[in-house]
Structure 1
Amino acid sequence: MLAAAAAAAPAHAATLRHGWQSVDGVHIFYREGGPPEAPTVVFLPGNPLSSIQYEKVMEDLAAVQSLHVISLDYPSFGYSDAPSPGTYAYTFDHLAETVRDFLKARGIARYALYMQDYGVPVGFRLICANPTAITAIVVQNGVIHLDGFPAAQDPHGELRSHWVQRNAGLDSRRAAYARSLGYPQAGWNDEEQVGPDVMWLAASAEQRPGVIEARNDLWFDYGSNVARYPAWQAQLRRIKAPLLVLWGKRDSYFTTPGAYAYRRDVPSAEVHILDADHFATLQIPDRIAALLGDFLQRHHIVPTKAPATGG
Structure 2
Amino acid sequence: MNLFHNSVAVLTLTTIIAYGLPVKAAEPQSPTTQVLHRTIKVDNLDIFYREAGPKDGPTILLLHGFPTSSHMFRNLIPALAEKYRVVAPDYPGFGHSSAPSVNEFDYTFDNLANVIEKFTEKVGLKTYSIYLMDYGAPVGFRLAAKHPERVETLIVQNGNAYDEGIDNAFWKPIKAYWKDRSKDKGDGLRSLLTLDATKWQYTAGVRNVETISPDTWGHVQPLLDRPGNQEIQLAMFFSYGSNPPLYPKWQEYFRKHQPPTLIVWGKNDQIFPAAGAFPYKRDLKNLEFHLLDTGHFALEEDGAEIATLIRGFLGKQLTK
TM-score (structure 2 length as normaliser): 0.83
**8 Å CA contact 2:199, 2:217 repeated in 1:** no
Structure 1 runs (4+) deviating above 6 angstroms are 10-13
Identity across the alignment (%) = 35
User: What is the alpha-carbon distance in structure 2 between the residues aligned to residue 107 and residue 189 of structure 1?
Assistant: 36
1:207 to 207, 225, 230: 225
User: Could you say which structure has the higher helix fraction?
Assistant: 2
**8 Å CA contact 1:137, 1:242 repeated in 2:** yes
**8 Å CA contact 2:144, 2:151 repeated in 1:** yes
Gaps of at least 5 residues in structure 1 are: 1-9, 183-187, 303-311
- Counterpart residue number, 2:187: 172
5 Å-filtered alignment, 1:60-209, equals 60-63=79-82, 66-151=83-168, 157-178=172-193, 180-181=194-195, 192-193=202-203, 194-209=212-227
User: What is the alpha-carbon distance in structure 2 between the residues aligned to residue 190 and residue 267 of structure 1?
Assistant: 35
2:60 to 41, 48, 57: 41
**Letter of the aligned partner of 2:137 in structure 1?**
V
5 Å-filtered alignment, 1:283-298, equals 283-298=301-316
Change (3 A) 1:121 1:129: same
Tell me the matched-pair count.
283
Once the two structures are superposed, residues 156-193 of structure 1 have per-residue CA deviations (whole angstroms, 9 ceiling, x without a partner) of x5433321321422311333553x428xxxxx966523
TM-score (structure 1 length as normaliser): 0.85
5 Å-filtered alignment, 1:259-278, equals 259-278=277-296
**Letter of the aligned partner of 1:35 in structure 2?**
P
**Letter of the aligned partner of 1:26 in structure 2?**
L
1:22 to 29, 41, 57: 41
Change (3 A) 1:264 1:190: closer
5 Å-filtered alignment, 1:223-238, equals 223-238=241-256
**8 Å CA contact 1:146, 1:152 repeated in 2:** no
SS at match of 1:270: strand
Q: Which region of structure 1 is more displaced relative to structure 2, 110-119 or 162-171?
A: 162-171
- Counterpart residue number, 2:4: none
- Counterpart residue number, 2:299: 281
Q: Which region of structure 1 is more displaced relative to structure 2, 78-87 or 293-302?
A: 293-302
**8 Å CA contact 1:190, 1:196 repeated in 2:** no
**8 Å CA contact 2:258, 2:285 repeated in 1:** no
**8 Å CA contact 1:175, 1:213 repeated in 2:** no
User: What is the alpha-carbon distance in structure 1 between the residues aligned to residue 269 and residue 115 of structure 2?
Assistant: 28
1:208 deviates by 1.4
SS at match of 2:202: coil
**Letter of the aligned partner of 1:45 in structure 2?**
H
Gaps of at least 5 residues in structure 2 are: 1-26, 204-211
**Letter of the aligned partner of 1:241 in structure 2?**
P
SS at match of 2:75: helix
Once the two structures are superposed, residues 177-223 of structure 1 have per-residue CA deviations (whole angstroms, 9 ceiling, x without a partner) of 53x428xxxxx966523522121221111111211101101110111
User: What is the alpha-carbon distance in structure 2 between the residues aligned to residue 257 and residue 116 of structure 1?
Assistant: 15
User: What is the alpha-carbon distance in structure 1 between the residues aligned to residue 237 and residue 170 of structure 2?
Assistant: 16
User: What is the alpha-carbon distance in structure 2 between the residues aligned to residue 197 and residue 189 of structure 1?
Assistant: 11
User: What is the alpha-carbon distance in structure 2 between the residues aligned to residue 267 and residue 153 of structure 1?
Assistant: 30
Change (3 A) 1:96 1:162: same
